[in-house]
Structures are given as C-alpha cells and as structure tokens.
Amino acid sequence: MEEKDISALMQEYLRESAMGNASSMRKLADIYYENKKYKDPSKAVFWYEKASENGDNAAMNILATIYLEGKLVEQNTEKAIELFTKAAQSDSSAMNNLGLIYRDGIGVDKDVAKSEKWFKKAIENKNNFAVFHLGILYFDTGNIEEALKLIEQSVEEGNTKAMLFLGGAYYTGKGVKKDLKKAFHYFAKAADENDIDGMNSVAYMYERGEGVEENKVKAAFFRKRVRTLKNA
C-alpha cells in the first residue's frame, strides 16, 4: 500500500476511533506496531489499550502478548493472562495462547488439563496453530499415536514447524522409531516451503547420504538457496 493510502487510512481510523469504534482503534495500533515508516511503540500500546477497553478481543490478545514479552512495556505476566482470558471469549489466538501458557507454565503452574482444554477450544474455532500445539502436548505427555495424527494434520495444513518437528523426531528417534527416510521426507517438505532450517537439514542429509542417496551437487544447491534467502 502506498504511503498516501496509509496516511488516509490513519486519518479515517482516527475519526472512527473518536466515535468509539474499537476495531478502528486496533487497526490504527496495528499500523503503529507493524508499519516501518509509522512505527511508534508507545502509540501502538496506547491504541491497543484503548481498543481493549472498548471490548476488541483481537486487540486484547495482541496487548497481552506485548505484556507477556515485556519489550515495549514492563513485563506483566499476570496482566497478560488476564487479557488473554478476556480475549478468549471469542478470539481463537487468545485461546491458543492460553493453551501455551498452561502447557509451558508461563506465570502459572503447568496444567495439562487446562492446556488441552484451551487448545481444543481454539481448534473448534478454526485455529490451525492449536492443532500443532495440542499435538506437541500429547507428544510430551506420551500420547504418541494421537500426537502424530495431529502433527501430521498440521503438516498437511502447511505448518513448517510441524514438518521440522517430525523431521527432527524421526532423525533422532525421539518418541518414535528412528527413520532417516521419513526424516528426510519431512525436512524436504519444509524446504519446499523455503524454510531455511528445512533446507539446511536437506543439504546436511544429502552431504552424508542419510535417508537419501548422497548427492553433493544437490547439497550445494540447497546451501546456495539458504545464502540467497539470508541475503535477500
């Protein structure tokens, strides 16, 4: 979008925000948060706060993440969890984030049951990231069969983290029977999505002939693709 269009949008969002439009407050905050030219962290936080006060659940989720990270504001895990919980009334990203919080014990005691509950609610609300995260929860708690089904589903949905996870699991034999051909298969799927870690793994396996016939030329090809992407 051209600069003049963004400027016009900001003026429109300001007018609508003055009339109490929470969605416009959030969209204005998004520009201050993400746009390189207009980036202003303090204004972003201000408008996310305003949008949250006016009931915008998506803004609450973003603001909660900001408080959890503690980069733009003083870290406040308690406030983050409070905002995530409010946003989770309808925002699937907030549901997924609560699943992560209880899975990893961020500011709370680890709670597998609560984590599972929130991931499932997020999945019911069409959050694809939660499919992978629930799979990891099951993997870590020993429910490998169900975990693999969910992580494979996430792979089919194009999640490169799921591809890399399965590639790593089959490469090391962690939780599953070691299978270098399967490892290469999943790393190659990630490489096809231009994932740098996937390409590095494919190159490594081509260089050593692990799970695939040794091929120095193909290894060099993937190493070159990695350098090209890093320098882009």
Rounded average pLDDT over 28-37: 95
Q: Helices (DSSP H) in the chain: which residue ranges?
A: 3-18, 22-34, 41-53, 57-69, 77-87, 92-104, 112-124, 128-140, 144-156, 160-172, 180-192, 196-208, 216-231
Number of other CB atoms surrounding residue 94 within 10 Å:
28
Rounded average pLDDT over 135-149: 97
Instruction: Tell me how far apart the alpha carbons of residues 87 and 57 are, in angstroms, rounded to a whole number.
Output: 4
Rounded average pLDDT over 41-52: 97
Residue-wise pLDDT for 57-114, tens only, equals: 999 999 999 999 999 999 999 999 999 999 999 999 999 999 999 999 999 999 999 9
The residues, any chain, with a CB within 8 Å of residue 7's CB and separated by 6 or more, are none
Rounded average pLDDT over 194-206: 98
Mean pLDDT value across the chain: 96
* Whole-prediction pTM: 0.89
In this model, does residue 220 exceed pLDDT 70? Answer: yes
pLDDT at 4: 66
In this model, does residue 5 exceed pLDDT 90? Answer: no
The residues, any chain, with a CB within 8 Å of residue 141's CB and separated by 6 or more, are 112
Which domains are delineated in the chain?
Answer: 1-87 (1.25.40.10), 90-157 (1.25.40.10), 163-232 (1.25.40.10)
